[in-house]
Structure 1
Amino acid sequence: MGNTQLFDNAKTKNLGFLILRAGVGILFFVFGWQKIAGGEQVWNGVGSAMQFVGISAWPLFWGLMATLAEFAGGLLLAIGLFTRPAAAFLAFTMIMATILKGATGAGIIDWYAPFTMLLIMIFFIMNGGGIYSIDSVLRSKKHTGGLVA
C-alpha cells in the first residue's frame, strides 16, 4: 500500500471534513466571543467596514450582525448544524473583512486570513458539513423515518 492509498478513502476524507469544520468553527466562535465581550465600541468599529461598500448607516447594527455571525455561526459550524447557512453568513462577513483590509491599504499579510476563511466557507457552502455532523444525523433520521440507520 503506497502513501497515497493510505489517505484515499471515504472515512479519512470525512474525518478531514470534521477536523476542518470543527477547527475553523471554534476559531470563529472564539473571535466572535471576544467581539461580544468588546461591546458596542467594538461592534461599531466592525460595522464601519460597511462604508467601503457604500453603506454608512447603522454601523452598530452591522457590527453586531457580524459579531453574531462569527459567534453563532462558528458554534453551528463546529457542531455541523445548519452548516451551509452558517457558512453563508460567515462568508459574507469574510467578504466584508477582506474588503476592509484591502480598502485600508493593508498588504497581503493583513487580508490573507479573512480571504482564506472566505474560501473555506465557500467549500462548506458547496459541500455541507460532512458525514460527521449533526446535519448528517438529521438527514439520516429524515430518510429512515426517524430511525438512525
Structure 2
Amino acid sequence: MTEITATPPRAIFPSLQKLYMPFDTLAETLLRVMAGLLLVTHGYGKIMDPFGTVGMVEGLGFYPGVFWSPLLAATEFFGGILVAIGLFTRPAAFASMIVLLVTVYFHGVVLDQGLGGSEKSILWAAIFLFFAVRGSNAQSVDAKLGKQI
C-alpha cells in the first residue's frame, strides 16, 4: 500500500505568505469560538425551557420527547461552550454535528424547504465536522491540558 504524505502547498505569491501565515491559527481559533458561541446563543432558549421542544422532537420521530428535548438543549448550550473554549472539542463538535444533521433533515425534508431551507444547517454541520475530525488547536483548553480525545 502506498503511503500518502501531506506537504503544504507552495504559495503562488510567496511574498503574500508572510501576510496571511501568522493568522492561520488565529483564524481557526476564531472559527471555533464563533461557531461555539453562536451555538450557545441558539441553545440558550432551549436550556431555559428544556422541555419546550418535546413536541418538535417527537414530530421528528425521537421518542420519548421528554428525554430528547433536554438532551438537545444541553448539546446546543453546553456543547457550544465546550467547543468555544476548546475543551473536549472532538466529542462536543461531533454531538453538535449530529444535531445539525437532524436540522438539515427537518428543514429540507419535513418542512419541505429543500436546499434553501437547510443550507445554513449544512454549513454549520460542516464546520462542526471539521472540529470533530481536527480537534482543537494550540489556543484551547485541550492544548493547555495537553490532552485531546
SS in 2 for 1:129: coil
Among 77, 80, 87, the alignment partner of 1:81 is 87
Structure number having the greater helix percentage: 1
- In structure 2, the CA distance between the partners of 1:46 and 1:87, relative to structure 1 (3 Å rule), is farther
Q: Which amino acid aligns with 2:36?
A: G
Distance 1:78 1:21 in 2: 6
2:49 is the alignment partner of 1:22: no
Aligned partner (choices 131, 134, 137) of residue 130 of structure 1: 137
Is contact 1:98-1:115 (8 Å) kept?
Answer: yes
Give, in whole Å, the separation in 2 of the partners of 1:107 and 1:4.
40
1:48 matched to 2:54? The reply is no
Q: Which runs of 5+ in 2 are unaligned?
A: 1-13
- State the TM-score, normalized to the length of structure 1: 0.81
**TM-score normalised by structure 2 residue count:** 0.81
Once superposed, what is the RMSD of the aligned Cα atoms?
2.0
Runs of 4+ in 1 over 4 A off after TM superposition: none
Count of aligned residue pairs for this structure pair: 134
Superposed displacement of residue 17, structure 1: 1.3
Task: Determine the C-alpha separation between the residues in 1 that align with 2:87 and 2:117.
Answer: 30
The corresponding residue for 1:90 is 96
Unaligned runs of 5+ residues in structure 1 are 143-149
C-alpha distance in 2 between matches for 1:19 and 1:46: 32
